[in-house]
Amino acid sequence: MPAISPKKPYRVGRSRTGLGLFATKPIKKGAKIVRYFGPLLDSRKKKDDAIENKYLFELNGRWTIDGSVRKNVARYINHACRPNAESDVMPRKRKVVIRAIKNISPGEEINYDYGTDYFKAYLKPIGCKCDACERKRKKKRAEARAERLRLKLKAAKKALKEAAKLELKAKETLERSLSHGLNGNSHHPTLNGNLLTGRHRTSARRVSATQSAILPKPRDNQDRQSLASA
């Protein structure tokens, strides 16, 4: 880590992605924080144009700052999608200054938006780790969890409803078979059914036996009548 004068309102420290630049004193909105500096690369020179690193800051079509030098403290500033600072680019002066766009409190990490090109090339493939994106991811995960729970509950409710339906059906079937058995109309050869049906048959036989004992009388009378008339 580079040595930073205690007069400066920042220090290099541990951040979510590795190292970052943190405020050590209150920084007012609009105040210059630190200059982004390094050797100027001329895209017209083949040697310069071949240089490739994460700290290149393009000023215009021709000039680029190579910020990979150790003394460039601004290179520790991480990207954020909702930053508290910005890069103030002055192409004519071939100068870039990082400036606060909000009041920054001591302890707060300083960050600025690296721009769409950098985001697409380096951050999108690995997933942006800035606070705003982390919050968004957390919210999405919580929503997904809630949705999974909602579906689980829905399935459980459905299963309960199905079970209740089945129970009712079984109860109805049992009641029907029990009442059929009591009426003796059961077609199933159950023990109860057979016994009850047997009793019915017995009484039916008893009735016809009584009838046959009574019935011959009028026939006798008829016979007598026919005999008398004869």
Q: Of the two residues 74 and 130, which places its CB atom closer to Zn ion in the complex?
A: 130
Work out whether strand 56-58 and strand 32-36 pair parallel, antiparallel, or are unpaired.
unpaired
Q: Which of 4, 31, 81, 196 binds Zn ion (CB under 5 A)?
A: 81
Q: Is 111 helix (H, G, I), strand (E, B) or coil?
A: strand
Q: Is 84 a binder of Zn ion (CB under 5 A)?
A: no
Nearest CA among 47, 90, 54, 84 for reference residue 72: 54
Q: Of the two residues 132 and 170, which places its CB atom closer to Zn ion in the complex?
A: 132
- What is the rounded distance in angstroms from the CA atom of residue 190 to the CA atom of residue 110? 87
Point out which span in 103-111, 124-132, 170-178, 197-205 binds Zn ion (CB under 5 A). Answer: 124-132
Q: Is 128 a binder of Zn ion (CB under 5 A)?
A: yes
- What is the rounded distance in angstroms from the CA atom of residue 56 to the CA atom of residue 40? 10
Query: CA angle, corner 39, sides to 38 and 41, nearest 5?
Result: 125
Residue with tokens 């393009």: 58
Q: Is 130 a binder of Zn ion (CB under 5 A)?
A: yes
- What is the rounded distance in angstroms from the CA atom of residue 178 to the CA atom of residue 185? 11
Point out which span in 12-20, 34-42, 122-130, 202-210 binds Zn ion (CB under 5 A). Answer: 122-130
Q: Is 21 a binder of Zn ion (CB under 5 A)?
A: no
Cβ 40 to Zn ion, closest distance in Å? 29
Work out whether strand 109-112 and strand 78-79 pair parallel, antiparallel, or are unpaired.
parallel
Cβ 116 to Zn ion, closest distance in Å? 12
Q: Of the two residues 139 and 157, which places its CB atom closer to Zn ion in the complex?
A: 139
Cβ 69 to Zn ion, closest distance in Å? 26
Q: Which pairs from 134-140 meet CB under 8 Å and 24+ separation?
A: 134/16
* Count of residues near Zn ion by CB under 5 A: 4
Q: Which of 133, 180, 184, 190 binds Zn ion (CB under 5 A)?
A: 133
Question: Binding residues for Zn ion, per CB under 5 A?
Answer: 81, 128, 130, 133
